[in-house]
Structure 1
Amino acid sequence: MIELLQDAHFWVGVALVIFLGILGYAGVHKIAWKLLGERGLKVQAQLDEAGKLRAEAEALLVQIKAQREAAEKQAALMLETAKEDAIRLGAEAKVKLDEQIKRRAALAERKIATAQAQAEADVKAAAADLATQAAETVLAARIAGAKSDPLIDAAVKTLAQRLQ
């Protein structure tokens, strides 16, 4: 045992035990536990707050995904509606174009018919004028060869005026 009392490690161990005893008697361990507890509570509060924020972020993420899906569905619906409208407007434009072509063709046919009728009337009028002049010439030649009658001359002149 004397060797033990001369050993420096022994005395360091005894001093450590005494020091720890003093610290225990003074209640340092309670203060340390209290400080650690408070710090643990702060950390726990921060963890709880982080958990709440994470839950909110996840809920927000779910909401944003739902909104994105809804927006994609709406965009697809709008695109489909636009395609249907384009097809419908194309068909309507084709029908209107066909109608317009038919109207213009009918108008052109009417103009052609009117021009043809006018040309026929002009030809008939020219033929009538020519026939009148020919009849006047023939009658004038016959009458000149025959005896001249003032009544016949007056009738020929009246006939020429009426035919014109």
Structure 2
Amino acid sequence: MADQSHAAETVAETGHAEVAHHGYDHFYQDPSFWVGTAIIVFFLLIIWKKIPGMVGKMLDEKSEEIAAQLDNAQTLREEASSLLAKYQREQRDAEKTAAKLLAQAEAEVELLAGEAKVHIDEMISRRTKLAEQKIAQAEANALKEIQQVAVSVAGAAARELIADNMKKADRDALIKSDIEKLDSQLH
């Protein structure tokens, strides 16, 4: 009863009724008790549901997957290195082949240029000889024509001179002797 009178006095003084705290009541109202209890229950649930094993298994699977990806990346890197080396060899071989082809082409060009020069020299020589022959033939033809003209002119001049200087009797005697020569050649 003394507790009740003390409670009544407290209500009169403060205006609030205080609940009597017994030893166990205070324990359940403490927030640290509930936080501790929740943490313990949480860890018990984690262990009971085998969460650490599942997390470990997931981490192992993830590490295996990463290891497989690293192995695959290493394999791809080695393949890429081998392909790069192959392409570099092929490029060097192609450059050597191109250099050989270029040297051959230059040699062929020089050979063809030499043959063309010889061919051109032969053609010029033939054409020069042909032109010289044509010139010589033209000169010979011109000389013949000049001689024929000279003979014609000389014959005409001689006839005129002879006709002017010769008498009729001399002419008749000359014609007669020419006819006799012709007759003797024919018989």
- TM-score of the pair, normalised by structure 1: 0.71
- Corresponding residue for residue 146 of structure 2: 123
Task: Work out which of the two has the higher radius of gyration on C-alpha atoms and give 1 or 2.
Answer: 2
Unaligned runs of 5+ in 2: 1-35, 180-187
Greater relative contact order (CA < 8 Å, ≥ 6 in sequence): 1
Distance 2:90 2:41 in 1: 69
Offset of 1:19 from its aligned partner? 7.9
CA RMSD of aligned residues (A): 3.1
Q: Any residues of structure 2 matched to 1:57-72 within 5 Å, and which?
A: 57-72=80-95
2-side partners of 1:46 and 1:39: how far apart?
10
C-alpha separation in 1, matches of 2:171 and 2:76? 133
Paired with 2:93 and 2:41, the residues of 1 have a C-alpha distance of 73
Residue 102 of structure 1 corresponds to 125
Find out whether 1:53 has 2:76 as its counterpart.
yes
What is the rounded CA distance, in whole Å, between the counterparts of 2:141 and 2:82 in structure 1?
86
| Separation in 2, partners of 1:151, 1:20 | 174
Q: State the identity as a percent.
A: 33
Unpaired segments of 5 or more residues in structure 1?
1-11, 157-164
- TM-score normalised by structure 2 residue count: 0.63
Structure 1 segments, 4+ long, off by >6 Å, are 16-22
Are 1:85 and 2:113 matched, yes or no?
no
Aligned to 2:10: none
SS at match of 1:147: helix
Once residues 149 and 134 of structure 1 are traced to their aligned partners in structure 2, the CA distance between those partners, rounded to angstroms, is 17
